[in-house]
Chain A
Amino acid sequence: MHKVFGIVALTALSYLSLSTVALASKSEGLSPEERGLQIAIEIDLRDRGFGDSTNHLKMTLKDRHGNERHRLLRNRTKEQAGEGDKSIIIFDTPRDVKGTAFLSHTHKVGSDDQWLYLPALKKVKRISSSNKAGAFMNSEFSYEDIASQEVEKYTYKFLREDTVAGVKVFVNEADPIDPKSGYSKLEVYVDAERYIALKIDFYNRGGRLKKTLVMDQYRQHKGKYWRADTWIMTNHQTGKVTVLEQSNWNFDNNFTDKDFNKNSLSRMK
């Protein structure tokens, strides 16, 4: 679900010419900003062309006192050429919101378009997408953490090379362009071989480390596209943790844009 949950998922066909130039040049001699952008574009390039996907999600919410709650969701995503992805998330539990569905049309530039389907009222409601910093399903993931990530939504700065669990990584700073983001910066630990994020540190607007996301159990799909089956988000300020487990990946569903409009949202089950 990196399209929905991931820094790793970046679509940027419009950057094709720029990325060709960037890759042709050696990383030496680049400024940290140029090298940071180069890494972000390479992540995007390597994931381009996945087409569409569906998967199941299990979220486990844990607080400091040992309380646990579970959420079951299903996700479907369709890649867009030259635009942000379209996705629908369907809630299976908690049971009182079962059947609620969340449609998102992400845009590279400007606000995303989002609608919610409320099954009890049979109502499709356009909602504000400026709730970036708000909690998604009361979890430690905010709406911007689950939105489709686009290269254009950040400026970048290469920080250093490092290792995560023995794996060589590039540490890349990503600064959100949108002032409504809840973050001042992200530090993304990018696998230097596979160009996938292994860890992300999120810094709040005051510049303090707020959350850390660790992505684990990566599996390759269609011989090309890496997806992490386990995501662990830890909130350092509250001690709360959300564990996200992804399963049942399916690609090549032949989705069309008509599977991601208000009309199809209104019959999601």
Chain B
Amino acid sequence: MSVRYRRVIPAFLSVLMMLSFTAEANDLSGYFGGEARYFFNKPLYSEQSDHNAAITANVEYFHDFDDGEQRIAVTGFGRIDSEDSKRSHADIRELYWWKNFDGFEVYAGIRKVFWGVTESAHLVDVLNQTDNLENIDGEDKLGQPMIELVTAQDWGTVSAYILPYFRERQFLGQESRLRPGIRILDDAQYQSSDEEQHVDFAVRWSHYIGIWDIGLSHFSGTGRDPIFDVVVTDGGEPVLRPLYRQIDQTGLDLQATVDAWLLKFEAVSISEKNGPQNTAFVGGMEYSFFTVGGTNADLGIVAEYQFDDRSGQRQTVSQNDLVLGFRWAFNDLDGSEVLALMSQDLEHSNRFFSLELSRRLNDKWKIEAEAKVFSSVDSDTPEYTLREDDYLKIEIRRYF
């Protein structure tokens, strides 16, 4: 964390304290969680622990004032891991001020912004860095400092973003499972001499017309996904050094909602400075069977195809893959759900299963079980180092 980034946070906190005198809508909420992961096989690398446990906390506060025309919001997340000190981490997910002006709105501070429609890959969603310490599914994101101007008009919503500071991806320590075989260095390299202080820009237009929800976006700045160079340390150890490049990425996301069908498509064109031009897309459908067999239960099925022509160092895990899944919602008193996903690489034999079960214990407590299984992994793919990392996780959360 740079000096500059550290200075922003106390400034925001003082603003927050000044404004909290005016009593209006405000609320504190969040959860505390405890979890344990059981790995079915012995670890591949001697430094790795067999199993792990962790406690987590997520705390959110917001305060509306000025007749609901202004808001301060803050969200903090933290994890303490039993095995890996690098996986024990905290992050300010949100710390922003929002104001509604006549005809437009302004957000300033740290935020999380989501773009897109598909379930199995989030190609157009480029503003926030992935929180790589949390899960391999890439759904968790680090807070991103930004200023956003947004205006909602009859012809759609336009958002413009200035992103003054870059968040580096963080990597697991040697004790953790589900990591690459080679150590990743902490000091990243940048294509831009401004490094993490490079100012990025983005703009997005989104609208809905009848059955269509459409979004068009462009991002110009430091790409959130690093590529890795293999370097040898002074001690002779081969290690990976992350390199963040300057990119221009144009994205399209489209959804058609027809009866119980959701048809989804996302595509991006990525142009790397002094580098290749690449294309990726993900498309598919979601279909829901409601009140199955006369019961309260709903069954949703999802099928998506992923394509990405980035190759070599830039290759992603979703380069030519099919993802199938279903969600069974019992709609019982405690909201019991089953979510199952299967991913099949169409070029390699890689096959991956994920199963999640969840239900409430009461209005405040929730229990969740998650199993991930790498049933087939080719030796010439990056996932090969995960081949012994099938696991079962049990998590309990107390919400407040």
Give the B-binding residues of A (Cβ under 8 A). 61, 63, 67, 69-70, 93-99, 111, 113, 121-123, 125-135, 138, 180, 182, 258, 261-264, 267, 269
Chain B residues near A261: list those with CB within 8 A: 152, 157
Contact B114 A263 (CB under 8 A): no
Interchain CB contact (< 8 A) of A269 among B27, B105, B262, B296: B27
Residue of A nearest to B400 (CB): A95
Contact B331 A138 (CB under 8 A): yes
Interchain CB contact (< 8 A) of A138 among B117, B139, B333, B397: B333
Confirm or deny: B5 has a beta carbon within 8 angstroms of a beta carbon on chain A. no
Contact B25 A269 (CB under 8 A): yes
27 contacts between A and B (CB under 8 A): A69-B334, A69-B363, A93-B363, A94-B360, A95-B31, A95-B363, A96-B360, A121-B139, A122-B112, A122-B113, A126-B213, A128-B259, A130-B290, A131-B290, A133-B291, A134-B291, A138-B335, A180-B259, A258-B152, A261-B152, A263-B150, A263-B152, A267-B98, A269-B25, A269-B27, A269-B62, A269-B71
Contact B206 A262 (CB under 8 A): yes
| Number of chain B residues whose Cβ lies closer than 8 Å to a Cβ of chain A | 45
Contact A130 B333 (CB under 8 A): no
Contact B257 A126 (CB under 8 A): yes
A95-B331 contact, Cβ under 8 Å, with A126-B208, A262-B157, A269-B25: no
Interchain CB contact (< 8 A) of A98 among B29, B105, B152, B257: B29
* A241 → chain B closest CB, angstroms: 12
Q: In B187-207, which residues have CB < 8 Å from any A CB?
A: 206
Give the A-binding residues of B (Cβ under 8 A). 25, 27, 29, 31, 62, 64, 71, 73, 98, 105, 112-114, 117, 139, 150, 152, 157, 206, 208, 213, 255, 257, 259-262, 288, 290-291, 296, 298, 331-335, 360, 362-364, 366, 397, 399-400
**Complex-state Cα separation, A262 to B257, whole angstroms:** 15
Contact A269 B257 (CB under 8 A): no
Contact A138 B400 (CB under 8 A): no
**Complex-state Cα separation, A111 to B211, whole angstroms:** 9
* B161 → chain A closest CB, angstroms: 14
Residue of A nearest to B210 (CB): A113
Chain A residues near B71: list those with CB within 8 A: 267, 269
Contact A70 B331 (CB under 8 A): no
**Complex-state Cα separation, A14 to B272, whole angstroms:** 56
Chain A residues near B113: list those with CB within 8 A: 122
A128-B296 contact, Cβ under 8 Å, with A95-B29, A269-B62: no
Interchain CB contact (< 8 A) of A94 among B25, B157, B335: B335
* A78 → chain B closest CB, angstroms: 15
A126-B114 contact, Cβ under 8 Å, with A98-B399, A138-B296: no
Chain B residues near A135: list those with CB within 8 A: 291, 296, 331
| Complex A-B, nearest 6 residue pairs according to Cβ-Cβ distance, in ascending order | A95-B399, A263-B152, A134-B290, A122-B114, A123-B114, A135-B331
Chain A residues near B98: list those with CB within 8 A: 267
* B20 → chain A closest CB, angstroms: 16
* A117 → chain B closest CB, angstroms: 10
Contact A95 B364 (CB under 8 A): yes
**Complex-state Cα separation, A125 to B122, whole angstroms:** 14
Contact A134 B331 (CB under 8 A): yes
Residue of B nearest to A119 (CB): B60
A128-B261 contact, Cβ under 8 Å, with A69-B333, A133-B290: yes
Interchain CB contact (< 8 A) of A128 among B112, B213, B257, B333: B257
A131-B112 contact, Cβ under 8 Å, with A126-B255, A138-B331: no
* A269 → chain B closest CB, angstroms: 5
Most central of B64, B260, B262, B333 by chain A CB within 10 Å: B333
Contact A121 B114 (CB under 8 A): yes
Residue of A nearest to B358 (CB): A96
* A124 → chain B closest CB, angstroms: 8
Residue of A nearest to B256 (CB): A126
**Complex-state Cα separation, A134 to B260, whole angstroms:** 12
**Complex-state Cα separation, A243 to B98, whole angstroms:** 37
**Complex-state Cα separation, A83 to B117, whole angstroms:** 28
Chain B residues near A262: list those with CB within 8 A: 157, 206, 208
Most central of B25, B213, B255, B298 by chain A CB within 10 Å: B213
* B89 → chain A closest CB, angstroms: 18
Contact A138 B363 (CB under 8 A): no
Residue of A nearest to B62 (CB): A269
